[in-house]
Amino acid sequence: MTTNSSITTRTGFRFEIRLAHPQDEPTLAEFFTHVTPDDLRFRFLGAVKEVSHERLVAMTRSDDAHIHNFLAFSADGMLIAVATLASDPADRNGEVAICIRADRKHLGVGWELLAYIAKYAEDLGLEAIEAIESRENRAAIEVERDMGFTITTDPDDATLVVVRRELGARSAA
């Protein structure tokens, strides 16, 4: 399974995806200064003004086989999006979280990054991926719906929805 990929979106925008490394922490910290307050809230499901050192460390770690952190860079080397795929201990289900730089939205990056992570998860043998979204995050929910995710209300919090997509790699094997 490849961990470095070049992607071209439907809009013609090109970017590279690779796994994060601990030395990426300063770049990641700078990235979050270019994310809207709403997107920070949607990504962390709460009021976050600044991403803590501990969260940055968690988002750049590479020592846990169940956590895969991805970085997307534009051709000029700018970090434009980050994503995490965290699988359960049995490697059956994965949870996805994505955040895109405010000035790089509407280029198809989110769609392509989510498609990349779905394929990555399938290659790992996961059966499904899901994300927990604020109901207010209509743009993300619309993309996920278009990509075949089902949407259900979070049983513990009516302000949230769980979006889920069956992958089928294990069930087909």
**Side-chain half-sphere CA neighbours of 141 within 13 A:** 16
Largest Cα–Cα separation, the chain: 45
Collect the ranges in the chain with pLDDT lower than 70.
1-3, 40-49, 169-173
Which amino acid belongs to residue 143? V
Residue 51: its pLDDT value, please?
A: 74
138 — alpha (psi -120 to 50), left (phi > 0) or beta? alpha
Residue 3: its pLDDT value, please?
A: 61
Residue 70: its pLDDT value, please?
A: 94
Residue 57: its pLDDT value, please?
A: 81
Cβ pair 51, 39 in contact under 8 A: no
pLDDT tens figures, 76-117: 999 999 999 999 988 899 999 898 998 988 888 988 999 999
Residue 82: its pLDDT value, please?
A: 94
Instruction: Tell me the percentage of the chain whose pLDDT exceeds 70.
Output: 89
Residue 58: its pLDDT value, please?
A: 82
Cβ pair 147, 108 in contact under 8 A: no
The neighbour count for residue 115, using CB atoms within 10 Å, is 14
Record the pTM.
0.86
At a CB cut-off of 8 Å and minimum separation 6, what does 79 contact?
27, 28, 30, 31, 71, 72, 73, 101
Residue 151: its pLDDT value, please?
A: 94
Rounded CA-CA distance 4/70 in Å is: 10
Residue 171: its pLDDT value, please?
A: 41
Beta strands in 93-159 (DSSP E): 93-100, 128-134, 150-153
The neighbour count for residue 84, using CB atoms within 10 Å, is 19
Residue 170: its pLDDT value, please?
A: 43
Residue 168: its pLDDT value, please?
A: 73
Residue 63: its pLDDT value, please?
A: 77
The neighbour count for residue 53, using CB atoms within 10 Å, is 10
Q: Could you tell me how far CA 52 lies from the centroid of its own chain?
A: 18
Phi and psi of 53, rounded to 5°? -55, -40
